[in-house]
Structure 1
Amino acid sequence: MTPQSDEDEVWRQIVASFNETAGDDPADRPWPDRENVPDGQEPTPEPEESDEPRDETREEPSGDEGEDHDHDHYIPPPPPPLPKADLVTRVAWTALFGGPAYLLLAAMLKLPMDPWIVFTAVASFIGGFVALVVRMGDGPPNDSGWDDGAVI
């Protein structure tokens, strides 16, 4: 047999078995008992494998207790405060958003837009963008010394 005829035979078998049902259907498997959860209770996730044995004798809280169940939820710490921006950065952000915002509002409210007003709004947008890009500081920190290793 040639390799081409072997491949043709494999394709014929695939086409012939196209409408056959699979022998191991996932729908035929029974539902595991550990997946059954009583109404009103959230399922507990399975812990990762560890050397410690699991304690499966814990008591389920009754519904009539007035306890707060938030003790088992993660509460993140408050975020650190935002850094204070200097005057140049605040002016650059204001120009970046203020120019297009003024043009949008003036167009929506049908305010007169003289050419110098349009030029000022576009120039403020471009100037704010350039100022923010120049002040980004992509380089290494100033206190890193002469040999700061690999800089990505």
Structure 2
Amino acid sequence: MNNTAGDDEELPLDGQAKPEPTGASDAPARRPVGGSQAEQDAIFAALVAQFDDPVDLNNPEWPEIENLRAKEVRRAPKGELDDLAPQPRPRPAAGAVGDPRAYVAAEDPDEGHFVPPEPPPLPPMDTTARFAWLAVLGGPALLLFDVLVWREVSGWPAWVGVSAFLGGFVTLVARMKDRDEDEPEDPHGGAVV
């Protein structure tokens, strides 16, 4: 027979059947972890069967196994700190108490921050690119002006605005370069491990 500390409830040994509860109010006792698969299945089935049982909220019963006894409380050996004892806080540095906002952290002279290089200047635009950007931005601006002034967009101003936007967009896309001429050919496509 295997008893828990001070409890008279029997716990099953390996290979034995679990004891049957004696009443409806008996809560299942805590069993050691492990055991056979059949024991674990039986414990789980008992827990599932008790899931929908009503609970008496006026007289809650605390399982006896959960109560700590004075002799069971773990005492730390002499010279070893108790795990549950409060740990002493470090004392603040000596000196005058001042404004906490006046504190300045000591800076490491070599912080190792990454400073990105200056970006290269934009390439000079040729006349075709300038007119294409003027058309892409000017076409919608003309349509917006028409809406604000005449309250409707129709006739030749609408046709000019839409055509300018589409023409400028197609021109910019057609003139896009696939690669920079300055960069050497990369067989890996930039992915190097």
Which structure has more RCO (C-alpha within 8 Å, separation ≥ 6)? Answer: 1
**TM-score normalised over the length of structure 1:** 0.47
**TM-score normalized by structure 2?**
0.39
